[in-house]
Amino acid sequence: PGGLEVVLSGSAPVPADFVVMAAGVRPNGELAARAGLKTAGNGAILVDEFLRTSDPGIWAVGDAVQTLHPVLGERMSIPLAGPANRQGRIAAENALGGRVSCPGTLGASVVKVFRLTAAAAGASERQLTTREIPHRKVYLHPPSHASFYPGSARMAVKLLFSPEGVVLGAQAVGEDGVDKRMDVLSTAIGKSMTVRDLAELELCYAPPYGGAKDPVNYAGYVACNVLDGLTRPVFPGGLPEGAFLLDVREPEEREMGTIPGSVHIPLDALRTRLDEIPGDRPVVLFCAQGQRGYSAERMLRQRGFDAYNLSGGFLTWRMFNPESADTPPDTGNGDQSGPPREDAPSVSL
């Protein structure tokens, strides 16, 4: 430990406690190219929907081929063992006279990084934005299982969906339960399910394993509220110009950190303190992870305010702004007290 440094070209060495090399993977299609098969610019072997190469007597599968990404609608190299195994079965059947098409690869993947698990499936926001595919998004931080049962930990989930509600992609990170939720979301993406389908899924419930509202259901509920116009989510880095930031958490939560420049009015006191909120500016509400912010947004919109909810609340903002996570709060806007809320953060992600 200690004494490590990274030497970059054209700059001074960078001291480090821990170094990760993530160089990526490039397909090796050299043999295929020498055999006269068509390859892509990155060296990947080109195959049709039946995994047949440009030579009608040769099939190819695995990390060295490009397959269709069902969401993005283009062929990509996605080197994962699960898809490679399924491609092998398809190619073998077709080589023996069958005619089975390959449905493509969604890139469902999971990785363990120390105590955290990260997983993803479908398209990322960057991929959708680069290709100008219309989409919407929400952040949420549901517990891995019933919060009253020991060991529950919050996960961070990002859900991407079309303006019509079709699920396009998802990412999640947390200490527990991430893999099984991403399996469900990957299935939903592969079957072109909508966020309303997510809300209606019947999933196993017992306190050690999940909640009566599973995180997948919860993601569907939040996204449905967006589609139905019940909430107008905003995101870190994209707040309305001149917005009035209103923290509706309890004082003890705010003492652990808040968004710089925000004003504090706990949700329970909001109705009696509306005169402290400007009516000529956008108002961005936030709580710990979004639920109370949503309630406050509904309350203010019904009273004519131009109100928005910070998607995923302070937990999401803190993930994008870790250097400001412990900013001392402005305590000059009331000291309403009350018990900690159910959606207060339980882990730091």
Q: Which residue numbers are catalytic? A: 287
* Torsion angle (degrees, nearest 10) of CA 37, 38, 44, 45: -50
Report d(CA 161, CA 136) in Å as an integer: 5
Burial status of residue 7 (CB atoms within 10 A of its CB: 0-12, 13-18, 19 or more): exposed
Sequence-distant (6+) residues with CB within 8 A of 207 are 145, 146, 148, 149
Report d(CA 161, CA 292) in Å as an integer: 23
Report d(CA 288, CA 346) in Å as an integer: 10
Report d(CA 84, CA 309) in Å as an integer: 42
Contact 79, 45 (CB under 8 A): no
Report d(CA 284, CA 246) in Å as an integer: 6
